[in-house]
Amino acid sequence: MTTITQESVPTASKSTTSIQISARAKSTQDSPIRKLSATAEARKQKGIRVYHLNIGQPDLPTPPIVFETIRDLKMSTLAYAPSNGLPQALQAWRTYFEGFGLSLEEKEIIVTAGGSEAIVFAMCAICDYGDDIIVFEPFYTNYNGFASIANIKLNPIPLNIRNGFHLPPSEEIEKHITSRTRGILICNPSNPTGTIYAREEIQRLVEIVKRRNLFLLSDEVYREFAYGTPVNSVLDFPEIDDRSVLLDSTSKRFNVCGARIGALASHNKEIVQSAFRFGMARLSVASIEQLALVPLLKSARTYTQPIVEEFWRRRDIVYEGLKTIPGVISYEPEGAFYIVIGLPVKDAEHFSKWLIEEFEYQGQTILLAPGPGFYATRGAGVNEVRLAFMLNGDDLRKSLVVLRAALEVYGKRF
Ligand SMILES: Cc1ncc(COP(=O)(O)O)c(C=O)c1O
């Protein structure tokens, strides 16, 4: 038997070769959205009011029925749930999808740990090491992290703020397809841009994936957050039933981010079976949360409608407010609760840092999410920031007054 003594324990100073973590672990980025949060806290300690426009954590209460359901649960053992999800949760998801005219069998749905796990499962199901997936940038920044976990590449196609970040023509998209491209991932309605793709735009993608033999993955976690524009699901296009994958989540639409309940759904049996097998490897999704959200999924509109109405009001406030700030490039976001705006500055990272470290207007400042974090292409989005509408109407208005004042001062100083 080997006895481990203090002498034999390797230490950094004694070992000749230092042990290395993987290249992909090193290259996985910190959340760019949270980067400036520590400074914001320090600023608050000094008595400055900080308006958080940076983060997409809904500020509204969770429907009380969630906690009531948990209190009423009669369980003696907290067992693993089946790897594809509890029957009650699968049935509830099916009912939920039916409410949007999406007809799915329970065996075509896998309950996942948030939309995040659904996205990782989908990436792993369609790609091998080194394959790529097309994304439209700016994109949800965690797609980078998911791609690292799945060991795949993101293949970004730039969108343009001038047309509200809508999709480019087919030729432009097809130019980016490589021999390793396995699919296209869209986020509809989009985080971070708030864009909702028109039926014709998705049809364009449908034709491409058919022609080029690709999968179409659609992240629809913001489905209900649509302000007068219809949202078409990827599953609304039966001609690609063999290659469409829907990625979904309860987090935002019900204000239950901490419950960690999402879903992957597809009419492609192999995709669903693969997700099931990945699910077996992680055994189970939390069973209490699956049960707690059943009432929400079963009568979704009851709970989502008031939330969506509130965000519609906020969208209007932001859109109208931004139009009055000189030099800001904006557009009317059709959905979700975000907008990416262009600022009259050279470096939005520097501006955001300056705002939170130094600037104040009547004892207030704002925290923004700098644009480059939402791009994979180096140098893209340098004068852009993302705003999330996570403040009540009054605070949103005040935060835009602060933004306007800040741009005036910054423009004179830098
Ligand atoms: C576009 C998008 N997809 C997926 C997710 C993942 O959400 P969750 O894992 O909480 O379901 C988020 C969360 O912010 C998101 O914005």
> Using a 6 Å cutoff on CB, does residue 262 contact ligand 1?
yes
**Pick from 360, 340, 350: which is nearest to 406 by CA?**
360
Of 300, 325, 348, the residue that ends a domain is: 300
Residue tagged 């659904």 (tokens): 118
**Distance in Å from the first CA to the final CA of the chain:** 67
Q: Is 189 helix (H, G, I), strand (E, B) or coil?
A: coil
Q: Is residue 18 part of a domain?
A: no
Question: What is the distance in A from the centroid of ligand 1 to the CA of 378?
Answer: 24
Strand blocks (E) in 88-230: 109-113, 132-137, 153-158, 181-187, 215-219
Calpha distance 314→332 (Å, rounded):
12
Looking from the CA of residue 113, the nearest atom of ligand 1 is 9
- Determine the atom of ligand 1 nearest the C-alpha atom of 140: 1
The CATH number linked to 384 is 3.90.1150.10
Same domain, 292 and 336: no
- Provide the domain limits for residue 108: 64-300
**Whole-number pLDDT of residue 14:** 54
Is there a single domain that holds both residue 208 and residue 86? yes
Same domain, 343 and 396: yes
115 Cα–ligand 1 center, Å: 5
- Statement to judge: residues 336 and 396 lie in one domain: yes
Per-residue pLDDT, 24? 85
| CA nearest neighbour of 344 among 368, 364, 371, 325 | 325
For the CA of 187, the closest atom of ligand 1 is: 1
* Kind plus residue range of the DSSP H or E element containing 369: strand 369-370
What pLDDT does 222 receive? Answer: 98
Q: What residues contact residue 65 under an 8 Å CB cut-off, 6+ apart?
A: 295, 296
Q: Which of 260, 280, 300 is the last residue of a domain?
A: 300
Q: Which atom of ligand 1 is nearest to the CA of 56?
A: 14
Same domain, 250 and 337: no
Give distance in angstroms: CA of 68 to centre of ligand 1: 25
The pLDDT assigned to 248 comes to: 98
Q: Give me the residues of the chain with pLDDT under 50, please.
A: 1-10
Is there a single domain that holds both residue 215 and residue 283? yes
- Among 117, 140, 247, say which to mutate for ligand 1: greatest number of ligand atoms within 8 Å of CB: 140
Domain of 206, CATH number, reads 3.40.640.10
pLDDT given at position 15:
57
> 228: part of which helix (H) or strand (E)?
none
Q: Which of 116, 136, 196, 337 to mutate to test the pocket of ligand 1 (most atoms within 8 A of CB)?
A: 116
How many domains, the chain?
2
Query: pLDDT per residue over 215-273, tens digit each?
Result: 999 999 999 999 999 999 999 999 999 999 999 999 999 999 999 999 999 999 999 99
For ligand 1, whether the C-beta of 336 sits within 6 Å is no
Nearest-CA residue for ligand 1 atom 1 is 191
Q: 309 and 244 in one domain?
A: no
Mutate to test the pocket of ligand 1, among 142, 146, 257 (most ligand atoms within 8 A of CB): 142
Same-domain status, 98 and 185: yes
CA 190 to ligand 1: nearest atom: 1
pLDDT of residue 33: 62
Q: Is 257 in the pocket of ligand 1 (CB under 6 A)?
A: yes
Residue 410 Cα to ligand 1 midpoint, Å, equals 33
- Tell me, yes or no, whether 1 lies in a domain: no
The DSSP 8-state label assigned to residue 226 in this structure reads: B
Last residue of a domain, one of 245, 272, 300: 300
DSSP 312-364: HHHHHHHHHHHHTSTT-B-----BTTEEEEE-SSS-HHHHHHHHHHT--BTTE
Instruction: Flag whether 9 is in a domain.
Output: no
Q: Which residues contact 161 (CB under 8 A, 6 or more apart)?
A: 329, 331, 340, 341, 342, 384
- 161 and 293 inside one domain: yes
Same domain, 171 and 317: no
Domain membership of residue 262 (yes or no) is yes
Looking at the domain assignment, is residue 120 inside a domain?
Answer: yes
Reported as a single tens digit per residue, the pLDDT across 342-373 is 999 999 999 999 999 999 999 999 999 999 99
Q: Are residues 97 and 187 in the same domain?
A: yes
Q: What is the pLDDT of residue 57?
A: 75
Do 318 and 407 fall into the same domain?
Answer: yes
DSSP H or E stretch at residue 387: strand 384-388
Long-range contacts formed by 327-331: CB under 8 A, 24+ apart = 327/407, 327/411, 328/407, 329/161, 329/162, 331/161, 331/163, 331/164, 331/165
Residue 162 DSSP symbol: G
